[in-house]
Amino acid sequence: MRTRRKGIAAPYLIWMVVFTVLPLLLVIYFAFTDKQGHPTMANLYSLGSYTNVFVLSLVLAVVATVLCLVIAYPISFMLSRLRAGRQGIALMLVMLPMWMNFLLRTYAWMSLLERNGLINRFLGLFGIGPFEMINTAGAVVLGMVYNYLPYMILPLYTAMLKIDSSIIEAAEDLGAGTWHKLWKILLPLSKPGIQTGITMVFVPAVSTFIISKMLGGGNFWLLGDLIESQFLGNAYNYNLGSAISLVLMVVVLLIMGFTGGFGQEDIEGVI
């Protein structure tokens, strides 16, 4: 029986080795070698000159993640309290933009935000503007929030769906106000969803490059742009690109470890 189970698991193990373990080992190898294959730490030492790129990427990713959490939390709660039939329709509306190609969604925001775009034209009817909305940090964050918001809504919705309404009703009977219910009941019980949502939004946000190129106009050089530039164009240096990717991977793992600090004991303390 055990041999049969191992046989069933073999394709998954092969998949993990070929598409996860081997690429990771290659990244580590190239990060600690030069173009001649000699061991070196120069690639990691040279990352100090890109500190501003790391800081900007982390700041914009954190801002986008926080905004996604603030926007998605009430939406997820309202979705979880809808009747079963309406929940499916509401979830479909949330996921509807994801059915469109990522590039097309971003192009759409370019046409909305540019100086002669739809938003400035609409505001111009009231004698307002035009505003410089495209090629700004705000436009980059907006693109992140728009594209990654469903990744925050879905785990929060799943977590809130498991919260028994009787707990909230009991708190109301005991005189708990809105903020007390939020801080003492909803937030602790929805921590697993918050944890997953933060991870699912922060990881792609900190490594994005299409959004920063299209909505930032190349004015905001993020980690994704930096890594891409090392594998394409005149600055071809896959060793440095691997070193940047490795450091980014470590940063992401640290963030995931931090968000994973929401344990079962936190939830049990509320119940």
What is residue 155's predicted lDDT score, i.e. its pLDDT? 92
What is residue 48's predicted lDDT score, i.e. its pLDDT? 86
Rounded to an integer, what distance in angstroms lies between the CA atom of residue 253 and that of residue 260? 10
Q: Mean of the pLDDT values across residues 165-180?
A: 78
List, in order of start, the domains of the chain with CATH numbers: 51-235 (1.10.3720.10)
Is pLDDT larger for residue 181 or for residue 46? 46
What is residue 270's predicted lDDT score, i.e. its pLDDT? 36
> What is the tens place of the pLDDT at every residue in 77-91?
899 888 877 888 888
Q: With pLDDT > 90 as the criterion, what percentage of the chain qualifies?
A: 26
Phi, psi of 116 (to 5 degrees): -105, 25
- Residue 166: pLDDT over 50: yes
What is residue 2's predicted lDDT score, i.e. its pLDDT? 61
148 pLDDT band (50/70/90 cuts)? very high
- Residue 1: pLDDT over 60: no
Closest CA to 28 of 226, 249, 243: 243
- Residue 117: pLDDT over 90: no
> What is the tens place of the pLDDT at every residue in 125-136?
888 878 888 889
What is residue 268's predicted lDDT score, i.e. its pLDDT? 39
What is residue 165's predicted lDDT score, i.e. its pLDDT? 78
260 pLDDT band (50/70/90 cuts)? low
CB atoms closer than 10 angstroms to residue 220 = 21
What is residue 218's predicted lDDT score, i.e. its pLDDT? 77
**Three-state secondary structure along the chain?**
CHHHHHHHHHHHHHHHHHHHHHHHHHHHHHHCECCCCCECCHHHHHHHHHHHHHHHHHHHHHHHHHHHHHHHHHHHHHHHCCCHHHHHHHHHHHHHHHHCCHHHHHHHHHHHHCCCCHHHHHHHCCCCCCCCCCCCHHHHHHHHHHHHHHHHHHHHHHHHHCCCHHHHHHHHHCCCCHHHHHHHHHHHHCHHHHHHHHHHHHHHHHCCCHHHHHHHCCCCCCHHHHHHHHHCCCCCCHHHHHHHHHHHHHHHHHHHHHHCCCCHHHHHHHC
Rounded to an integer, what distance in angstroms lies between the CA atom of residue 230 and that of residue 238? 6
Closest CA to 206 of 57, 65, 47, 59: 57
- Residue 266: pLDDT over 50: no
What is residue 3's predicted lDDT score, i.e. its pLDDT? 63
Q: Mean of the pLDDT values across residues 11-18?
A: 84
Most confident of 12-16, 46-50, 142-146: 142-146
> What is the tens place of the pLDDT at every residue in 249-259?
888 888 777 76
- Residue 186: pLDDT over 70: yes
Q: Which residue has the tokens 């594209």?
A: 147
> 75 with 153: CB under 8 angstroms?
yes
